[in-house]
Amino acid sequence: MPKVKTKIKKIYNKAIILLATCAFVVSTNPIANAASSFDTHTITFDLKGGIEIDVVQPTYGFGSVDPWGSPYYSAENAITVNVKSNTNWTLYVKGDQYFTSGTNQIPISRLSWSQDNTNWNTMSSIDSQVTIGGPTGSSGTNVGMEYRLVIQYDDPVADGYQATITYTGVTP
């Protein structure tokens, strides 16, 4: 029996030391000994959906063209539009009403566009949907565009025809 009594006494002594240590920690903790009060506040914010687009090649030229060369002039992989967004988005394209060179004009509808070189769409001066997507991550999503240009025999001969093509990204 004496061994059991000794073990109990050692455990009892360790418990007393532990309690004394805890009492010392509590007594030296300024928050535990002081009167206290607390309050909370809430932090709020609105995370807005946003979009950024970048036309990687801002200028594309068909070079010298004529009506007897081909039924159309093709520009595969003409440009890339990089879209960055943190929400769902839609990409639109439209062009000026005409290609112009001085007072000479060729309708923008002679230009067609495609993403896959298969499904062709007539360029318009009114926004046309190109594609839709979701959140892209920081590097964005590349949208490749291809063009076809039709030249006709009655088009006015001139150098430097040009038109502005506008890409617009929209989020809900």
* Maximum distance among all Cα pairs of the chain, rounded to whole angstroms: 121
The mean pLDDT value of the chain amounts to 85
Q: Are residues 56 and 93 located together in one domain of the fold?
A: yes
Q: Is the pLDDT of residue 106 over 80?
A: yes
pLDDT given for residue 41 in this prediction: 84
At residue 46 the predicted structure's pLDDT band, cuts being 50, 70 and 90, is confident
Residue-wise burial string across 22-51, b where 16 or more C-beta atoms lie within 10 A, e elsewhere = eeeeeeeeeeeeeeeeeeeeeeeeeeeeeb
Please check whether residue 42 lies inside any domain of the structure.
no
Q: Are residues 98 and 137 located together in one domain of the fold?
A: yes
Please check whether residue 44 lies inside any domain of the structure.
no
pLDDT given for residue 44 in this prediction: 82
Q: Are residues 7 and 90 located together in one domain of the fold?
A: no
Q: Are residues 84 and 15 located together in one domain of the fold?
A: no
At residue 143 the predicted structure's pLDDT band, cuts being 50, 70 and 90, is very high
The count of structural domains within the chain is 2
Q: Are residues 26 and 91 located together in one domain of the fold?
A: no
Please check whether residue 46 lies inside any domain of the structure.
no
Q: Are residues 28 and 65 located together in one domain of the fold?
A: no
Q: Are residues 72 and 141 located together in one domain of the fold?
A: yes
Q: Are residues 56 and 135 located together in one domain of the fold?
A: yes
Please check whether residue 41 lies inside any domain of the structure.
no
Please check whether residue 45 lies inside any domain of the structure.
no
Q: Are residues 6 and 81 located together in one domain of the fold?
A: no
Please check whether residue 40 lies inside any domain of the structure.
no
pLDDT given for residue 153 in this prediction: 93
Q: Are residues 87 and 138 located together in one domain of the fold?
A: yes
CA distance 99 to 158: 11
At residue 16 the predicted structure's pLDDT band, cuts being 50, 70 and 90, is low
Q: Are residues 66 and 122 located together in one domain of the fold?
A: yes
pTM: 0.74
- Taking the CA atoms of residue 30, residue 34, residue 37 and residue 41 in that order, the dihedral angle to the nearest 10 degrees is -10
**28: containing domain:** 2-33
Q: Are residues 79 and 156 located together in one domain of the fold?
A: yes
